Amino acid sequence: MTTDAGTTWRELLAETQATLGNKQDARFLCEHAAGLDATEFTSALDELVSQRIGGYVHEMVRRRLTGEPLQYVMGRWAFRHLDLLVDARVLIPRPETELVAQVALEAARAVQPSRVVVDMGTGSGAIGLSLAHELPLVGTTVWLTDISPDALDVARANLAGIGRNGANVRIAAGDWFAALPAELAGTVDVLVANPPYVAEGDVDVEDVVARHEPHTALFSGDDGLDAIRAIAAGVRRWLRPGGVLVLEIGHQQGVAVRDVLAAHGLRDVQIRCDLTGRDRIAVAHA
């Protein structure tokens, strides 16, 4: 692929599509390099591409051809209303997690006049920063925690992107509840987590996921439930009475997670489905 002073976006897009063999990815990469949304990019198709931007597209195509996920190549991905920095330090935020955030958001909105929310295992900050962004500026506190300092660096960078609601966000490192200050015990209104829930050695995990996304973000013991058991065991100490736990779970874990949560004294345990009709979210009350 060549890019000289006379190359238009239309030509570069066609070349990128041919090289990648994927129209959608090519379009994403070119829109991203141009710094334009889909409509603006369509209007700019006959404009010339600078050599510098052309070189950037070439570099992204080279990385994509090695099998690196599109989201890491672009270094960003959309989640609800946010445009998040993502790279190999964090899980790529998934569409089903937007629904998990929605359930947590509704639970938090119902708490008046002020609310304390915790997003444990925040990764890029996708869930917790969306909550901070969408909940009222006044009366909201959102804690983001993770065991990975690298992930928290990404969450911190993304915090800068949510504007003044970012003042409501606190970030803390540590192993699940160990990250939280003792004075928060018994005061949390909503605790949400998308914990790692894949069984070690699960052969159904896509190769691209296992090769590129952080192991700590994906795998959790022989049955995938270690993290959920750890959260279930500790959560009643941190939630206020009546406080809500919202967990993303694997689509085959509904029955097991219901049992784990009930065994730890959580009430009204519900297992809800994602948009494909599969078990995906556990909701329970302290």
Ligand X SMILES: C[S@@+](CC[C@H](N)C(=O)[O-])C[C@H]1O[C@@H](n2cnc3c(N)ncnc32)[C@H](O)[C@@H]1O
Residue of 139, 131, 197 whose CA lies nearest to 158: 131
Nearer to ligand X (CB atom), residue 71 or residue 165: 71
Q: Is 151 in the site for ligand X (CB under 6 A)?
A: yes
From 59, 175, 202, 222, residue interacting with ligand X (rule: CB under 6 A): 175
**Could you say which residues in the range 1-60 bind ligand X, by CB under 6 A?**
none
Least distance (Å) between residue 248 CB and ligand X: 7
Residues whose CB falls within 8 Å of the CB of residue 166, separated by 6 or more in sequence, listed in order: 132, 159, 160
Contacting range for ligand X; rule: CB under 6 A; set: 2-10, 63-71, 188-196, 233-241: 188-196
From 31, 194, 236, 260, residue interacting with ligand X (rule: CB under 6 A): 194
- The answer to whether 40 touches 59, Cβ cutoff 8 Å, is no
- Tokens matching residue 280: 């995906």
Nearer to ligand X (CB atom), residue 172 or residue 269: 172
Residues whose CB falls within 8 Å of the CB of residue 199, separated by 6 or more in sequence, listed in order: 219, 220, 221, 222, 223, 224
**Could you say which residues in the range 120-149 bind ligand X, by CB under 6 A?**
120-124, 126-127, 146-148
Contacting range for ligand X; rule: CB under 6 A; set: 129-137, 193-201, 204-212, 269-277: 193-201
Q: Is 217 in the site for ligand X (CB under 6 A)?
A: yes
**Could you say which residues in the range 219-238 bind ligand X, by CB under 6 A?**
227
Give all strands (DSSP E) within the chain, no chain letters: 76-79, 82-85, 115-120, 140-146, 169-173, 188-193, 239-248, 267-273, 279-285
* Sign, CA torsion 14/19/20/25: negative
Nearer to ligand X (CB atom), residue 34 or residue 235: 235
- The answer to whether 115 touches 141, Cβ cutoff 8 Å, is yes
Contacting range for ligand X; rule: CB under 6 A; set: 28-36, 48-56, 115-123, 239-247: 115-123
- The answer to whether 42 touches 49, Cβ cutoff 8 Å, is no
Backbone angles phi, psi at 33, to 5 degrees: -65, -35
Binding site for ligand X (CB under 6 A): 90-91, 93, 97, 120-124, 126-127, 146-148, 151, 175-176, 194-196, 216-217, 227
